[in-house]
Amino acid sequence: MQKKFLTMAVAGALAAPCIALAQSSVEVYGTINMAFGKFKYSESAAGQASVSKWDVAQGASNYGLRGRESLGGGLTGWFQLEQNAPLERSNNISITPASRNSAVGIQGGFGNVFLGQWTTPWADLDALWSIGTVGFWGPVTSIIGRRETTGTAPNPNCINTPGRTGGPAWGATYPAGGPQPTCDAVEANGGVGHSFWRRASQSLVYQSPVFGGAQVKALYQTDEGKATIASAPNGAVADPSLWSLSAQWAGMGGRFRIGAAYDRHKDFTSMGNTDTGWAVKGGWNFGVADVGLAYETMKYKCGDTGNLAGSGNGQGINGLPAGGPTSGGACLAGEGDVKAKQWGVALAVPVGPGSIRASYSKAKELESNVSRAGTGAKQYNIGYEHRFSKRTNVGIGYAKIDNDAAAQFTWTGAPPVQNGSSNTPLAGSDPSTFFVSITHRF
């Protein structure tokens, strides 16, 4: 009898965690995305020699935890914590907890409401059209939504503004050596050509239920970085925040899909001004081929004054070198609006258990009342991706970016350029790669 009671007690103790997990399920998940190949940067516009190198690269590999719990009344509580998983130490990507999509929320018949860091509704639309990428060398990691060079850009409240080595970042409007808090990657990513694709932090997000294949999304990144600048004329206030909105629809059994997005980014390029952008993305699966299309345009407000007074100590636009003769780091003195336009087309053709995939995208020259010549670029890729299972794909392909004389577009995950350290191409240098990729999801 005592043995029976002991057996029941042990079984009950072992079952307790299972009961808890049944009430609140938690799973570990992730994606390992790697490529091996020959990478090349062509000669730059300034005449610096080309360089070729072998590279093992990782593209947005990640891992995380997520869980759900039934709260009753049709409500579900959920959380997700996700971070980068750099499988190559030389790429200088730090492992920071919750550095990727991470949030906590409540979901029900009203939709999904959550708080945290998440991709914007603008960026979420890329899933509708970007079916032409093999591995991670494609338009979404290089041209579409990515006018900026990698990193942050001028914001007077941020210590992570490039060029902050003791001198003021905004001319004489910010005292050297004054308090300079570090900012979130999106909030600090101001300046002409700031990105519309980055995750937004300190954000409130709403996603509606799907009605007849239609869904709307809204994200508000709060202005927690709001601050006055004591030495600025009239006590100027920097108040960076953003709205991102989208609507999308899928129909005809999922064959047809389309979405539109609109963004408003306040105080990113210049104080007192709001940058705007809109995009349309979608696709059609004909059975014998799946086709995707994307078009986007952004308007950066320089306020006709030049937010860096031509100091040249900020970040360059993706298409303009930092401190270059036509960039001034950001806005130029006397410059008003700067307009950017990009478009892309993608194709996937089923072949056995895999598919042939290809993409072409183009960034047009920036439009401004000041010359922005040579700021355009073209990206194309083609390859075959073989699906071994629902979790594992292997691909082979070729990808290239043709940069105009002042352009510096590249892919996320590209190796260092001619100088062996920076990942941003020299102006006019064209990156290209022959590669084999492996993607595994768990």
Question: DSSP of 339-368, one letter per residue?
Answer: EEEEEEEEEEEEETTEEEEEEEEEEPPPB-
Q: How confident is the model over 110-134, as a mean pLDDT?
A: 96
Tokens found for residue 219? 């994200």
Rounded Cα gap, residues 393 and 32, in angstroms: 11
Whether the pLDDT of residue 251 is over 60: the answer is: yes
Which pLDDT belongs to residue 183? 55
The more confidently predicted of residues 4 and 270 is 270
The pTM assigned to this predicted structure is 0.82
Q: How confident is the model over 96-121, as a mean pLDDT?
A: 94
What's the N-to-C CA distance of the chain in angstroms?
A: 45
Q: What is the pLDDT of residues 128-172, one digit of tens each?
A: 999 999 999 999 989 998 776 433 333 555 554 443 433 334 333
Q: How confident is the model over 30-51, as a mean pLDDT?
A: 95
Which pLDDT belongs to residue 188? 56
Which among 295, 219, 299 is positioned nearest to 259, based on CA atoms? Answer: 295
Please list, in sequence order, all residues whose beta carbon lies within 8 angstroms of the beta carbon of residue 231, skipping any fewer than 6 positions away.
172, 173, 174, 175, 178
Q: What is the pLDDT of residues 414-431, one digit of tens each?
A: 999 999 888 889 999 999
Whether the pLDDT of residue 2 is over 80: the answer is: no
Please list, in sequence order, all residues whose beta carbon lies within 8 angstroms of the beta carbon of residue 416, skipping any fewer than 6 positions away.
422, 423
Report residue 198's pLDDT band, with 50, 70 and 90 as the boundaries: confident
Which pLDDT belongs to residue 146? 79
Report residue 269's pLDDT band, with 50, 70 and 90 as the boundaries: confident
Which pLDDT belongs to residue 89? 63
Q: How confident is the model over 345-360, as a mean pLDDT?
A: 97
Amino acid identity of residue 248, one-letter, is: Q
* Contact (CB, 8 A) for 152 and 192: no
What whole-number percentage of the chain has pLDDT above 90?
55
Report residue 189's pLDDT band, with 50, 70 and 90 as the boundaries: low
Whether the pLDDT of residue 4 is over 50: the answer is: no
The more confidently predicted of residues 170 and 258 is 258
420 CA to centre of own chain: 24
Report residue 328's pLDDT band, with 50, 70 and 90 as the boundaries: very low
Report residue 403's pLDDT band, with 50, 70 and 90 as the boundaries: very high
Amino acid identity of residue 97, one-letter, is: P
Q: How confident is the model over 430-439, as a mean pLDDT?
A: 97
* Contact (CB, 8 A) for 278 and 343: no
Rounded Cα gap, residues 119 and 204, in angstroms: 12
Min mean pLDDT across 121-125, 169-173, 219-223 is at: 169-173
Q: How confident is the model over 64-91, as a mean pLDDT?
A: 89
Please compute Rg for the chain using Cα positions: 24
Please list, in sequence order, all residues whose beta carbon lies within 8 angstroms of the beta carbon of residue 282, skipping any fewer than 6 positions away.
128, 129, 256, 257, 258, 259, 292, 293
* Residue 300 DSSP SS3: strand
* Contact (CB, 8 A) for 358 and 382: yes
Whether the pLDDT of residue 123 is over 80: the answer is: yes
Rounded Cα gap, residues 72 and 87, in angstroms: 41
Whether the pLDDT of residue 284 is over 50: the answer is: yes
What mean pLDDT is reported for the chain?
80
CATH class for domain 34-441? mainly beta
Which pLDDT belongs to residue 160? 45
| 377-387/354-363 β-pairing | antiparallel
Which among 221, 266, 245, 299 is positioned nearest to 123, based on CA atoms? Answer: 245
Whether the pLDDT of residue 360 is over 80: the answer is: yes
Rounded Cα gap, residues 320 and 385, in angstroms: 34
Residue 2 is inside which H or E element, if any? helix 2-23
Burial 118-151 (b: 16+ CB within 10 A, else e): bbbbbbbbbbbbbbbbbbbbbbbbbbbbbbbbbb
Which pLDDT belongs to residue 232? 53
